[in-house]
Chain A
Amino acid sequence: MAKKRHLISHTIYRIFLWCYALFSLYPLIWMGFNSLKNNQEIFETNPFGPPTAFRFENYIKALSQYNVPQYFINSIIVSVATVTFTIVLGMMFSYATSRMRWKGQNIAKIYVSMGMFIPIQALFIPIFLLISRMGIVNTHLSLILPYTAFNLAFSTLVFYGFFRSIPFELEEAACIDGAGIFRTFFKIIVPTIKPAIATLIIFIFLQSWNEFPLASILISDEGMKTLPLGLLFFQGSFSTEWGPMAATMVIASCPTVIIYILFSNQVEKAMTVGGAVKG
């Protein structure tokens, strides 16, 4: 009896899992299909199924007629710079607040971790005014600086936790060997927190690659737009060219989806570690 009931509930669960999987994945598959179809196939002859002919010209069009490569390069510059700055600054700051001894180290740590609780959207106007006054609107730096600042709180918290778990003998040994603090930090301490660095690289990369609202305020110059912003050129143009539009969407999604599929465990850990830190 119990076994039979178990089997029924198991089957219901299984159907539900498959239905949601379809619901989650099909829109993306449909996007992939569309990227290889022409308008006629999308609208009339074959709206749901796989393409009958592979029209790679959509991709060529996306890359050659629109500014997609430029957006792509901008996104890479902004994301890579943000990741680098956030990791280096966060690492140094957390090391100084977790292991070195000085007055005010706790206050400094609490001060920066406050960033976790401030709704970023609420700061848009003063940041816009600040960036304008600095005269760097429409530059990569106008995005890199805020993105780095916003990610610092989270990364310092993660690094702080890792640094606290390392034994102090590491520095003692290095000190006896005559290594200075900078050498010890970069040669001995940093390699021990590689897992934290890997996690944060993924987390910050995804955040900055996909950020939209702040970029939409600070960037209006076509040549400086990042991908999420640049993709808006299709907004409202439904009847025109769906194939190249879908192709552009696929191109924009590739980096994050590939990273996710290669490092799915790592990515989920990166995203959920936020829960562990914040909770």
Chain B
Amino acid sequence: MNTFFSNKKAIAIFVLPTLLLFTVIVFYPLLNVMYGSFFDYKGLTPQTFIGLEHYKRLMTDSLFYTSLKNGLIFAAIITVYQIVFATILAFAVNNATMKGRSFFRVVYFIPVVLSITVVCQLWLSILNAENGLLNQFFEIIGLDYQQDWLSDRYKAIFPISFTNAWQYMGYHFALILAGIKSIPQTYYEAAKIDGASTLKAHLKITIPMLAETYKFCLIMAVTGGLNAYTNMHIMTSGGPGTSTYTLTYMMVRSINKTYEFGYGMSSAVILVLECLLATIFINRLLARDRIQY
């Protein structure tokens, strides 16, 4: 039996392909990003070590601040939207007396499985200034609120964030619903005997018991938001001007347009740090008491 479980040849065959692929495509690039950010590298020219120059340049680059700000706005909007709606909807759907629960579950989740390109194009046509659905809708109900939703440099980030929030709300909804289902019914029975109302039971039992689920939802929404790229790329190409740039967008531009790989990698390092800080912060925030049942 021992020779069976410590068959060296078998272990090598089982383990090496994964280790190799992971090292080459994930781990080595991670080191490369950190290392590369200290070098001036434009693809064809040889690399020259320039220390913290890229970081100094970032600090004076207004595009960097725009990108940072947009990432934060985007993350804040999708986090609040998704978690608030997901919570309310999951609580309502979980209610045993509610009819059509499986219908609601399917409907709320469907946008999640769509390609982000499809969702962006779909909302582009809904938000279109001339004959988009939204403006036509305002016209029909007699509201004078028609506008060119994506061409205002101060407001464009909001419809873009909304599009992403709309698409992935269902993901958080499914997570929270699964979380609620895993809470033992005995807690609610006890609360009922004590005379607690449904709302009170939710506030005192469900939400605290969901701490782990919320932690995961928050980390997903916040880091996903900070990494935002696709929505901006498809809906506004970073515009109007550079008003909807994000850090990932800046980085990708350094691949496609300016070939400043070293500079792009320094924004990638900031991105990693940002995500790391957000994850640590959320973990701290919700780490008070680990729940066990």
Contacts and interface: CB of A to CB of B under 8 A. Distances in A.
Interface stretch (B58-66, B186-194, B261-269): B261-269
Q: Is the interface of A mostly helix, strand, loop or mixed?
A: helix
A176 to B, nearest CB: 9
Given A10-B97, A232-B234, 15 more contacts: A17-B92, A89-B18, A96-B11, A102-B6, A108-B15, A112-B19, A119-B271, A129-B32, A149-B21, A149-B26, A171-B4, A184-B4, A217-B256, A227-B115, A249-B118
Interface string B112-136: 1111111001111110101101001
B80 interface: no
Contacts of A257: 110, 113-114
B6 A181 contact: no
A244 interface: no
A62 interface: no
A99 B7 CA distance: 12
Given A101-B6, A275-B178, A125 B264 contact: yes
Given A130-B24, A175-B1, A217-B255, A119 B19 contact: no
Given A126-B33, A234-B121, A112 B22 contact: yes
Which of A28, A124, A267 counts the most chain B CB atoms within 10 A? A124
Interface stretch (B48-56, B153-161, B169-177): B169-177
A53 interface: no
B14 interface: yes
Interface residues of B, number: 101
A21 to B, nearest CB: 5
Interface in B214-261: 215-217, 219, 223, 226-227, 229-230, 233-234, 248, 251-252, 254-256, 261
Given A97-B15, A256-B115, A181 B10 contact: yes
A265 B2 CA distance: 40
Which of B22, B229, B255 counts the most chain A CB atoms within 10 A? B22
B240 to A, nearest CB: 14
Contacts of A227: 115, 117
A122 to B, nearest CB: 4
Interface in A222-279: 227-229, 231-232, 234-235, 238-239, 242, 245, 249, 252-253, 256-257, 259-261, 264, 267-268, 271-272, 274-275, 278-279
